[in-house]
Structure 1
């Protein structure tokens, strides 16, 4: 016997997925438009956030040279168990360069290497910039010579 509520459950599930998708898209849009407070608040109110939403807010803060805020959002992302992608690392390296926080940058570089992201050209370019901004020109030169 088929449950008469099955179509309702399916519709509700589809609507929930659509709503969460729209919320994630809105976080990304707000962050890209510089409405970081709104993006941050919406992100924190959502039950399920994608790596793209987290990264958009991190990148927004990093682009505004608010490295501490970017790293704080990253710590929340870690608490939620969301794995960073290559774009997250780029934003985090920018954040570390803006503070500057060489120790944190080196730790993040190590994580990016383990994940295989540091071999991406755009990630490597951001790493070189971070090392330079953190006053570690020698490390930037060494890294740029690894190609």
Structure 2
């Protein structure tokens, strides 16, 4: 029988993860969610202020005012950051909420591509990692 030394991590809900990798990916996703949410809030504030940082294109299929997109990013960013913080604190609901919010963030950043293409692509990739990290199978057993 293999030794469990260095392979266990206690969760708050009375469950013990058999792999520290599962816990590590969850923590990485929580940190990325918190950071990405804070950055989306700043992005939303800049868009609401109609900053000259963003390029406004004509005849875009998903045309929406820059201020409207600013509010979308501000609210979604605040929710993502709050879910990331809750995930770090061990809230069980935060995993499913994080997957849903990362999916919404992916969609919002896809539609945001004409305004900030490089930043949008980076956030789409990060959101994809967050979804993978939160959905990755975990071998958990009762403590």
Q: What is the TM-score of this pair, normalised by structure 1?
A: 0.29
Tell me which protein shows more helix as a share of its residues: 1
- The structure in which a higher percent of residues are strand is 2
